[in-house]
Structure 1
Amino acid sequence: MTEHTSATDGGPATDEAATGGSAGGQAFPWGTAAATGVGSMPGEDPREAARTVAGTLESFLFLPELPARGPGADMTGRTAGLLAELYARVEPSGWRLGDRPGRDTRRARSYLSADLDALEEFTQGYAGALKVAAVGPWTLAASLERRNGEAMLGDPGACRDLAASLAEGLRGHLADVRRRVPGARVVLQLDEPSLPAVLTGRVPTASGYRTHRAVDRGVVEEALRGVLREGAGEDPAVVHCCAPGVPFGLLRRAGAAAVSFDFRLLTERDDDALGEAVEAGTGLLAGVVPGAGAGEGALSDPAGTVGGVRSLWRRLGLAPGSLAESVTVTPSCGLAGASPAYARAALAHCVRAARSLANDPE
C-alpha cells in the first residue's frame, strides 16, 4: 500500500508510475497493471474518503464522490453545479433547470469544494494519474428536467446547449484540479450509465407511459466528442458505462482513451467491438471487483478475480503481453452502497488483482 503525502503525514511521497501502453501503442498516464475506483465512496466525510483513496491506490487516484450527503452530492447534482450559465434546483421529481443559482447550486458547489480541499490535503507530492468524474452529456440530458418537467433529452436544441455548458464547466473544474494537485496528470471521466437507453429509445418520459425516441448515433457521438475535446483538452478521457450494451466502437470514435464498464455485463456480442477498441489503442477499465454486498471471500483470490479478463483476451486472440498494459482493474461500479471497511478492502483488492495481470501470466 502506497502512502502519499498529506498535511498530516509529515513527509513527501512521490509516485513514479511507469508509463504503460496498449495493444495499439497508446501510452496511458496511469501505467501498467494499474487499479482505480469508479468514483463514489461510502460515508459523508471527504477527508476520510480522500485518505482512503490516497493511501490504498498507487498510480491512479480518483476524486471521491460522497452521495450519502444528499442532494448536491449525488452525481446529477454535483455535475449540475459545474454547468456554465445553466442552473438547476431540486424538485420532488429530481433536478430541474432554474433561472438563477439558488441554494441547491450553492450546496453542490460547497460539497465539491470540500472534496477538492480534502483531495489536495492528501495528495501533496503525488505525481501519478488523477481521475475526476462528471456525468456525461447524454445521461445528464436524460436526468435533468426542463422547466416543464420533461427531460432535456426530448429537446435537441436543449441537448446541444447542455453539452456546450458542460464542456465549459469542465474546463474550469479540471483547471482547478490541476492547480491544486500540480504534479498529477488529470484524467476526465464522463459517467454515461444511461447511454445505451438513449441510443435505443428506452428513456421514459415524465408520465412514464412513453419513452423518448432514440437519438441518432451520429448526434450522440458528435456531442461526446465535443465534450471530451473541449472539456479535457490535451488530457486523456475515460467514459464509464455500467449498463449492458456499452457502445465501445462509438466511444472509441468519439475520442475516449479508455472505456470503463461492468465486466459481468459483457456478452459475446461485445467481442468484436472490444477487440477492435483494444487493437486501436483504447484502454479498458474492467469492473471485476464487486461493488457492494459481497462477502470477504470475493476478495480473497486476486488472480481469480481477473480470470475472466484473461479468458476474454484468449477468446479475442489478443497478445498476452498487452493484457496488463491495456486493462485497469476497478470495482464493478461505485462503492457508495458499501461499508467503509469493504470499500477500503475492495480498492486494495483491485491493486492486488491488477498486479496479478502482470506478475502471474498464463
Structure 2
Amino acid sequence: MTDDFAPIRSSGIGSWPGTDLAEALKITFAECPELPYLPELPDRGAGAALIGRGAAVLAELSVDLQPAGWRLTGAPGRDQLRARATLRDDLDRLEEAAQGYRGPFKVAIAGPWTLAASIERPRGDRALADHGARREIAGSLAEGAGQLLADLGRRLPDLELILQLDEPLLPAVIAGRVPTASGFSQHRKVDLAEVREALGVVVAAVDRPPAEARSGLPQIWLHCCAPDVPVRLIKDAGIGGIAVDLDQLGTPDWDRLGQAMADGLWLGAGAVSTSTGAATGRHWSADEIAQRILRSTRSLGLEPDVAGRMIITPACGLARFDQRSAVNALRAVGKAADIVTDQLAD
C-alpha cells in the first residue's frame, strides 16, 4: 500500500433492530471503528424513527403525531416532546459510549424534502404542497441541525462530526411522484432551483472550516436509497458525499457518479441489499461485495485516488434485520473495505 493512499472506511446508514441503544452503540463502535454512527431504533416508537427524529431536531416549528402521520401544529405536541426527550437521552448515552474515541462520527437526520413530503399541513395534505411550509421546514431543520451538532461538539469535542441527510423521497419530489393525501393524484414537481436552495440552507447552517475535517471525509452527506438520485444537484448544493443503494444504479447513474467523483464527490457505496428484510444468520461474502464495487469503479476508468473517495455501507438501515444479521452485514462491509483498499493500493 502506498503511503499516501488512505484506507477505505465502512459504516452503517442509520436504523438498527431492537430497543437497546447502549448495545447498538457498543456494536457500532466495535464494527465500524473508523466511522461509527448514532443508530436509529424505530422499534422504540415513531419518535425514534426517521421522521420522528427529524421532528425532534426541528427548531421553532411544532408538529404532532396523528393517525395519518406527523402534522404541523401551533404548539409542540406530546409526541414531539417525547421525540425530543428520546433524542436527548440518546445523546447522553452516546456521550458515555464515545469516551476515549477520537475521530469521525456520523449523525443522520431526515432531510428537508423527505420531511416536507412526509409531514402534513394543519388543514390536510403534505407540507410539500405549500411553498411557505417547504421553506419553513428547511429553515427550521437547518437551525435545529446546527444546534444538534453544536451540542454534540460541546459534549464530545474529540469527535469530528459528520451530518448525513436521509432523503429517500428526494427523487419522487423532483419527479412529481409523491402522492397526495387522498392517493388519487400526485403533488406537482418542485423546481430544481428550490430543491437545491433548501439543501443549501441546511449545508450553510452546519458547514465548518475544512481544517476541522481531520479525517479528510466530507462533513455533509446525503443518503438516498431510491432510483434516479440527482447527483449533480446534490453536489451543486454543497454536499460532499452521496450514499446510494448500488442495486438502484444503472450505467447512466454510474457515469454521473464517476464524473462527480472525479470532481471531488465522495461515494457511499450501499453494497449489502436491505430490501428483502432479515434472514436470520444471513451471510454476505466480503469478497463478492468488494469485487462488485471494484468492477464498477474500474469500468469507469477511475484512478485509484479517485475511486478511493468511498465508504462502503449497507444499502439502507438495518432495522428490519434481526441483530445477528445486522452485525453480519456490518462485518461484511468492513471486510470488503479492507479488500477494496488493498486492491486499489496495489
Shorter-chain TM-score tier: over 0.9
Instruction: Please report how far the alpha carbon of residue 290 of structure 1 lies from its aligned counterpart in structure 2 after TM superposition.
Output: 3.0
Shift of 1:102: 2.4
Alignment-derived partner of residue 320 in structure 1: 304
Q: Paired residue for 1:68?
A: 43
1:190-201 aligned at under 5 Å gives the runs 190-201=165-176
SS of equivalent to 2:185: coil
TM-score (normalizing by structure 1): 0.88
How far, CA to CA, are the matches of 2:343 and 2:295 in structure 1? 14
- Which residue of 2 is the match for residue 5 of structure 1? none
Distance 1:200 1:162 in 2: 20
- Asked if 1:99 is matched to 2:83, the reply is no
- In the alignment, structure 1 residue 242 sits paired with structure 2 residue 225: yes
Secondary structure of 2:9's match? Answer: coil
CA shift digits 1:227-283 (9 cap, x unpaired): 112134447100000001111111111111100110111001213311111011110
Tell me whether 1:163 sits opposite 2:138 in the alignment: yes
Q: Distance in 1 between matches of 2:231 and 2:197?
A: 15
The residue matched to 2:117 in structure 1 has which SS? helix
Q: Does 1:255 align with 2:253?
A: no
Show CA shifts across 1:44-71 (max 9, x none): 1111111110122111111111011112
C-alpha distance in 2, partners of 1:20/1:115? 37
Cα deviation code 1:193-214 (max 9, x no counterpart): 0000000000011111110000
Q: Secondary structure at the match of 2:43?
A: helix
Q: CA RMSD in A?
A: 1.7
Matched, 1:272 2:255: yes
**Structure 2 counterpart of 1:346:** 329
**Residue 47 of structure 2 aligns to a residue in which SS?**
coil
Shift of 1:311: 1.3
Q: Report the CA distance between 1:179 and its aligned residue.
A: 1.9
How far apart, CA to CA, are the structure 2 residues paired with 1:238 and 1:351? 19
**What stretches of structure 1 of length at least 5 have no aligned partner?**
1-18, 22-30
- Are the aligned partners of 2:222 and 2:239 in contact in 1 as well (CA < 8 Å)? yes
Contact 1:166 1:227 in 2 (8 A): yes
Give the distance between the partners of 2:316 and 2:207, measured in 1 at CA.
22
1:294 CA displacement? 4.7
Bigger drift between 118-127 and 133-142 goes to: 118-127
| Pair 1:293 & 2:278 matched | yes
SS where residue 185 of structure 1 aligns?
strand
Query: Partners of 1:51 and 1:297 in 2: how far apart?
Result: 21
1:241–1:261 contact (8 Å) kept in structure 2: yes
The answer as to 2:8 corresponding to 1:33 is yes
Shift of residue 320 of structure 1?
A: 3.1
Q: Do 2:220 and 2:241's aligned partners in 1 also have CA atoms closer than 8 Å?
A: yes
Separation (CA, whole Å) in 2 of partners of 1:243 and 1:99: 33
Given that 2:35 and 2:106 are in contact with CA atoms closer than 8 Å, whether structure 1 keeps it comes out as: yes
Residue pair 1:142, 1:152 contacting (<8 A) in 2 also: yes
* Residue type at the aligned position of 2:63: A
- Which amino acid letter does the alignment assign opposite residue 329 of structure 1? I
1:299-325: CA deviation from partner (whole Å, max 9, x where unpaired): 2x21211222111112211113433x2
Q: Secondary structure at the match of 1:204?
A: coil
320, 328, 331: which one aligns with 1:337: 320
Amino acid corresponding to residue 293 of structure 1 in structure 2: A
TM-score between the two structures when normalised by the length of structure 2: 0.92
Query: Is residue 2:120 matched to residue 1:145?
Result: yes
Given that 1:187 and 1:232 are in contact with CA atoms closer than 8 Å, whether structure 2 keeps it comes out as no
Q: Which moved more, 1:42-51 or 1:109-118?
A: 109-118
Q: 2:193 aligns with which of 190, 214, 218?
A: 218
Q: Which residue of structure 1 lines up, in the alignment, with residue 23 of structure 2?
A: 48
Paired position in structure 1 for 2:149: 174
Structure 1 pair 321–228 and aligned structure 2 pair: CA distance change class (3 A):
closer
Distance in 1, matches of 2:282 and 2:118, equals 36
> Could you tell me how far 1:284 is from its partner in structure 2?
0.4
